[in-house]
Each structure stands twice: as structure tokens, then as C-alpha cells.
Amino acid sequence: MFLTAEEEAVLAGEEGPTRQQLMEILVAMGKVFEAEKMVPIRSAQVSGASYKTIGRWGLEWLSSLDAKASVPAILNPVGMDRIRWKEMEIDPVFAKNQLDVIAAYERLGIRLECTCTPYYLTITEYGDHLAWSESSAVAYANSVIGARTNREGGPSALAAAILGRTPAYGLHLVENRSPVLSFHVEDAPEKSDESWYGALGYLAGKIAGNRVPIFTGIRPSRDQLKNLGAAMAATGATALYHVQDITPEARVFKYDTSALESITITASEVADVYSSAEPDAVAIGCPHCSDEELTKIAEKLQGCRVKKPLYIFAAKGVITRSAESVGIIEKSGARVFADTCMVVSPALEQYKTIMVSSGKALAYVPNMCGAASVIGTLDDCLSAACR
């Protein structure tokens, strides 16, 4: 792997032990994946932020580092709302450890937005090289924006944030971005909500694994694409997908799909993912809600009073921009929390059955919260909470 003189100097420890250790991580990855060189990145998104997932050893490692991010870098959701954690009934011992993790990242120059939707807050453009680590953010950046990032782990994203570069392999190379599998969706409803694309992605991810698929027969909106990619990244390892005539690279490259393996998914298979089980809590915002989703929820909750816990998650910056909608939502008794989500926070471990509108949360809630999960449309979720 070719290293510039500057990269060689960092690797030799001339810029201190932290930068040396982080360069060792990037060089080791580059060698494993046969990268020819490093590529400069425009931004990083760093996971491994919830104390629930990284624990004491993660905190100790972060505390041992001494360097600063050299490119814009944003943190993944943590285990609680940084301000309203008491309202989430977070154990004070957990909160103390979580605040220590956050402080360690702040010291490293990572922006404390704590979100899996950094694309709502920062400018990311077609062709940008990135080092993002949260799997739904990776799928969105690659597929919906046409930027280029591999699925980084927490330490490699942090190393890239601090050193401003990442090994050029995998999805940084245009030859690895073409579809190798085609999904034809039959009888897709003309009008469907975001959850339908989550349920579709829940099925498609299991089939695609880590292959790059292209969809035909659907015309999703941006929020629907967000849910589709998040679910595929959860039940499979999808980091990039295309939708014929919709996503940017599918429009630029006009892929010939005639020779690809082709799989049909029918609307009735998607319908079978839904369940009518009665939840004891409802959680929306996986990935974190957009401004438009908060507006839609506020319109539907106008004048209602929730009778079961209804959690909604979004980035702090989006919540601040959508103050009016958030006010209406919270008047109903629902809570809109920042910085965290139903999967990485311990707050939802107290429930037996959680209804979600996301294919990714449907896949992760059982393992991460110890609760059964069911998927419903946004209307199903809100009426379950208000029943």
C-alpha cells in the first residue's frame, strides 16, 4: 500500500502515539482489503457511542487517546437524551458512564449531534469520500446521495476522523458499486408509508446479504429510501443499493440488469411482515425522523392524548428546527428525544412488546432490548399509542 511521506511520518510516531495507533488501524485495514492508497475524506460519522454497546473497555480506550478530529465528524446516537435522560428513567450510574463517553468524544473533537442521520445536518454530496459507520447512514450516503463510504467500525471511523483519510478500497472504488442482483417488486402500492419500505428492506436484506442490489417496480421518496436501506443493512449487510430511475448512480450509469440474478418480492410477502399484536410501548424514529416525518406525526397527533408510552427519536438539530411540530407531539403526551434511539438506549428494556414503523428496529429490538417487536404503519403506531 502506497503511503505519502506525511502518512509514513504519522505511522512512525512522529506526531504522537495516538495518531500513530490510529494510522496503524487504517494501514492494517488497507492491507487486509488490498487498498493501493489512502483517500482524503470529507466527513466522518463515528459509532460506538452508547455505553450500552461499548461498556467500560470502550470508555477506557477512548479516554487513552489524545488527538483531535481533522475533518467534520459527528457522533452516532448514545444511550440517552443528553439533557432529558431523567425523563427517560435512565439509571444515574449508566448516565454518569454515558456522559464520560460523550466527554471523551468531545475531547477528540467529535461533534456531539449524536445521530444516525447526519445528512440532515451537514452537506454531503455526490462523489464525496466519507468514513461513516452507522449502517443506515452508510446505506443512505452511498445509495441516496451517491457519496462513497464503506461500513466503518467505530475505531476505524474515529481513526479516519482524526487523520482525515481512509484506505481506498470497497465502495470507494467505482468498479465495486455496480449492482450484482436485481429485485423486482411486484404490485407495490402506489401510496404507502415509510414502514412499507422498511418491511420490504427487512425481506430484501436477508436475501441480498452484502451484495449490491438494484430494485425495479418501486418509486420511493427520500424518507422511504432511508427506511429501505436501514432495514436491508440490518437483516443483511447492505451498504449500497440502487433503485432504477430513482437513485443517483442508477440514473447516471443506467445499469443493464438483464444478465443479473433476478428475484421477485410481492406486495403480499411484504404485507406478511406486519403484525396486529398489541404493544405496550411504541417507538418511531429509526433512523432518526426527518423534519417532514415530525410534521406528519404532529398532524396526525393533533388533539389526541396518548395512553401508552410513545417515543419519537430525531437529531437535536432537526428537533430544534421543528419546534412547532415537536410542541404539538409532546402536548399529546408523546416524547421526542434527541441523541438516542429505541435500540441503543436501555430505556426501552422495560417493555414486553414494542411497535415500531421501521424494518431496522423490527430486526434489532428483540436482541438489543429483550422485547418482542412488531412493525406497523405510522397510523397503526399512533393509534396503538392512543388506544
Catalog residues that contact ligand F3S under the rule CB under 6 A: 77, 116, 134, 136, 230, 286-288, 313, 341, 343-344, 360-361, 364
| Pairing state between β 281-289 and 213-216 | unpaired
Minimum CB distance to ligand F3S smaller for 108 or for 342? 342
Q: Write down the least CB distance from residue 305 to ligand F3S, Å.
A: 26
Q: Which residues does 62 contact at the CB level (< 8 Å), separation at least 6?
A: 54, 101, 104, 105, 108
Minimum CB distance to ligand F3S smaller for 188 or for 239? 239
d(CA 64, CA 164): 20
d(CA 277, CA 353): 8
d(CA 60, CA 54): 10
Minimum CB distance to ligand F3S smaller for 77 or for 154? 77
d(CA 229, CA 231): 5
d(CA 375, CA 354): 9
d(CA 384, CA 300): 13
Minimum CB distance to ligand F3S smaller for 7 or for 339? 339
Minimum CB distance to ligand F3S smaller for 216 or for 235? 235
Q: Write down the least CB distance from residue 136 to ligand F3S, Å.
A: 4
Q: Write down the least CB distance from residue 68 to ligand F3S, Å.
A: 25
Q: Write down the least CB distance from residue 343 to ligand F3S, Å.
A: 4
Q: Which helix (H) or strand (E) holds 186?
A: strand 181-186
